[in-house]
């Protein structure tokens, strides 16, 4: 793997990863701020649901609806879209910009280029996913919503793996 290539690609895309993470932090903060004032009403309504509905909806607990929306809709949508954008432009973007021939003129093999691009994708997804996890954790703590931190961390790890799969497919298609 070419560390110099990884550093350059990471520096070029670092701002975008932070922007995606910041957007997810804002969504988390807004979602918990909206949920917090009506939490007791929603819990009261959820307690009247029959068992059949609860088996479909899942366990409704503190912040359950908000966490469900963040981790089932917004998180995957933003992280997968970000992974697709990054993955598809890492190699195809070099070709489109006309810099691929210049890159391959250096003493690096094609496998080293792909390895560096893959590690760049991993780095960007780690940054965005970590910011999302931090945003959910801080937003829930600020609004006094007690969440299982192990479950939140595991879900963020799952989102990282999901987005990496899509990103690597896009990287392969772009290559």
Higher pLDDT: 125 or 112? It is 125
How many Å apart are CA 128 and CA 71, to the nearest integer?
14
Q: What is the pLDDT of residues 54-102, one digit of tens each?
A: 666 655 555 667 777 788 888 899 999 999 999 888 877 776 766 666 6
d(CA 24, CA 134): 10
pTM, full prediction:
0.80
CA distance 62 to 32: 11
| CB 129, CB 160: distance < 8 Å | yes
Assess contact for 22 and 95: CB atoms under 8 A.
no
Cα–Cα dist 103/93, whole Å? 12
Looking at residue 52, its pLDDT comes to 76
Phi-psi region of 63 (alpha: psi -120 to 50; beta: other; left: phi over 0): left
Are residues 83 and 164 in contact, defined by beta-carbon separation less than 8 angstroms?
A: yes
Q: How far apart are CA 94 and CA 116, in angstroms?
A: 13
Cα–Cα separations (whole angstroms), residue 158 to 75, 161, 165: 11, 5, 11
In this predicted structure, the answer to whether residue 126 has a pLDDT above a threshold of 90 is: yes
Q: Which string of DSSP letters, residue by residue, matches 38-101? A: HHHHHHHHHHTS-HHHHHHH----TTHHHHHHIIIIIHHHHHHHHHHHHHHHHHHHHHHHT-HH
More confident residue, 12 or 56: 12
Share of the chain above pLDDT 70, in %: 82
């Amino acid at each position: 793997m070419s560390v110099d290539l990884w550093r350059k690609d990471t520096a070029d895309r670092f701002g975008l990863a932070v922007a995606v993470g910041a957007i997810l932090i804002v969504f988390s903060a807004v979602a918990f701020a909206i949920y917090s004032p009506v939490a007791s009403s929603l819990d009261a309504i959820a307690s009247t649901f029959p068992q059949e509905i609860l088996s479909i909806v899942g366990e409704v607990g503190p912040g359950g609806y908000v966490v469900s929306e963040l981790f089932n809709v917004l998180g995957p949508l933003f992280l997968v879209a970000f992974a697709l954008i990054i993955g598809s432009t890492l190699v195809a973007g070099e070709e489109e910009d006309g810099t691929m021939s210049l890159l391959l003129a250096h003493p690096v093999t094609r496998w080293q280029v792909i390895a560096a691009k893959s590690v760049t994708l991993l780095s960007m997804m780690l940054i965005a996913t970590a910011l999302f996890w931090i945003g959910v954790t801080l937003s829930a703590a600020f609004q006094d919503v007690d969440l299982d931190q192990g479950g939140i961390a595991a879900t963020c790890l799952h989102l990282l793996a999901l987005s990496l799969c899509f990103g690597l497919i896009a990287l392969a298609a772009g290559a």
